[in-house]
Amino acid sequence: MAEAIVFWTLAVLILGLGIAVISARSAVHSVLFLVVNFLLVAVLYVTLNAEFVAVIQVLVYAGGIVVLYLFVVMLVNLKKAPERYADPRRVPWTGTLLAGAVLAEVIAIGVYSTVSSDGAAATGGGLGADTPFSDCGSLVSCNTEQLGWVLYTSYLIPFELASMLLLVAMIGAIVLAKRHL
């Protein structure tokens, strides 16, 4: 009964803070609401006996992602009207070309993962008996070492794509903050 009360209290607080994130007038206040939201999600993970996921939630999201958001908010002056700037060196189709390349990569990853999962299913599963995580039935029942092995073998491409996305966001914040390149 106490677990249900804690769960529903956390759920209401998380939803309320989610609404506060999107309805705050100040961008800094919105980011601070997001930090508290991430911390409450970590508390929810602790109540579900997923301590490792809670620590990762605090380190990655409440630590890293929110700091990146704060850099963007602090570096970009949100009170000024957007400037009309036409750079003669700008090539308008470059963004479309790069978006097409990213879409092609995502499709290739999907095809590769479908083909490799079909091959793994035909051989009796993707986890061989000699791998360190062969006794790991699902990611939930893995310990930290097994989770690391799965992350850096089976899920290496999504992991690298997430890191590249964060790098692009950081470079975008720097470019937006800097007036003249």
Instruction: Say what the pLDDT of residue 19 is.
Output: 93
Note the pLDDT of residue 121.
Answer: 47
- Of 112, 107, 114, 142, whose CA–CA distance to 127 is shortest? 142
Fold assignment, 1-79: Four Helix Bundle (Hemerythrin (Met), subunit A) (1.20.120)
DSSP codes of every residue in 59-90: IIIIIIIHHHHHHHHHHS-SSSPPP----TT-
In tens, the pLDDT along 58-115 reads: 888 878 887 777 777 777 655 655 555 556 676 777 878 888 888 898 888 888 878 8
pLDDT of 13 > 90? The answer is: yes
Pick 118 or 162 by higher pLDDT. 162
51 and 45 in contact (C-beta within 8 Å)?
yes
> What is the domain partition of the chain in residue ranges?
1-79, 106-125+134-181
Query: Is the pLDDT at 158 greater than 90, yes or no?
Result: no
pLDDT surpasses 60 at 178: yes
The tens digit of pLDDT for each residue in 112-153 reads 878 876 655 444 444 444 555 455 555 455 677 777 788 788
Q: What is the pLDDT of residue 135?
A: 55
| Predicted local distance difference test score (pLDDT) of residue 59 | 86
pLDDT value at 180 more than 60: no
Sorted by sequence, the CB contacts under 8 Å of residue 134 that are 6+ apart come out as 127, 128
Residue 179 banded pLDDT, cuts 50, 70, 90: low
Q: How far is CA 4 from CA 14, 15, 39, 43, 102, in A?
A: 15, 16, 19, 14, 44
How confident is the model over 14-73, as pLDDT tens digits? Answer: 999 999 999 888 888 888 899 899 999 999 999 988 888 888 888 888 788 877 777 777
